[in-house]
Amino acid sequence: MARVPYLTPEDQDPENRELLDRPIDINRALANSPGALEANRFMGRWARYRSAVDPRLRELTIVAVGALTGNVYEYAHHVRLAKESGASSQDVDDVQRYFAGEGIELEPAARIALDAAYTLTVDGDLDDAQWNALEETLGRRAAIDLIVIVGYYNMVVRVLRGLDVRLEDDWSGELRAHPLREN
């Protein structure tokens, strides 16, 4: 059970009701602090609709953050979004296979992005060689955007954990189709 109540639009002041236009449980928990929810929505929408990162690559990178942190909520939500953004089931499964050192079919750009996601999530840093590969492969703007996206979704994982937000039942199909491995 989450540490805070899951609010509905009706629980909000009229000027804040639109903040719950996507009533997933992280938003419903954050609705207890409308300013925090608004900031979170801004960053999430920027990542999804305005960043320069290819949508499929963006979502595979976010799946990687969920997998690397062992966060079921993040992982399952972005498995679905990855598929909606053009990733195949093979692509999604290859994210975890890549980190396990198994053979995968992902293209070089995805491997470079996954390397960056791994290093940023596990070590909190990139070395010059990783930055250069990322910038050369994606271009400067998309490379910067990918770093911001990885940082943002690592923050989201900590919010989910801090508020003890659990995966909604209607998202569990993603876990059955693509089980989250133990790290």
Q: What is the pLDDT, as a whole number, of residue 176?
A: 94
Per residue in 155-167, pLDDT (tens digit) is 999 999 999 999 9
Q: What is the pLDDT, as a whole number, of residue 183?
A: 66
Q: What is the pLDDT, as a whole number, of residue 2?
A: 86
User: How many angstroms separate the CA atoms of 37 and 19, rounded?
Assistant: 7
* Domains along the sequence of the chain with CATH: 1-50 (no CATH), 51-177 (1.20.1290.10)
DSSP letters for the chain: --SS----GGGS-GGGGGGGSS--HHHHHHTTSHHHHHHHHHHHHIIIIISSS-HHHHHHHHHHHHHHHT-HHHHHHHHHHHHHTT--HHHHHHHHHHHTT------HHHHHHHHHHHHHHHTS---HHHHHHHHHHH-HHHHHHHHHHHHHHHHHHHHHHHHTPPPPGGGHHHHHHSPPPP-
User: How many angstroms separate the CA atoms of 123 and 138, rounded?
Assistant: 22
- CA-nearest of 49, 53, 62, 14 to 34 is 14
User: How many angstroms separate the CA atoms of 29 and 8, rounded?
Assistant: 9
End-to-end CA distance of the chain: 24
User: How many angstroms separate the CA atoms of 6 and 67, rounded?
Assistant: 25
Across all residues in the chain, what is the average pLDDT? 96
CB 95 within 8 A of CB 67: yes
Residue numbers of the chain with a pLDDT score lower than 70 = 183
Q: What is the pLDDT, as a whole number, of residue 91?
A: 97
Q: What is the pLDDT, as a whole number, of residue 49?
A: 96
pTM beyond 0.75, yes or no: yes
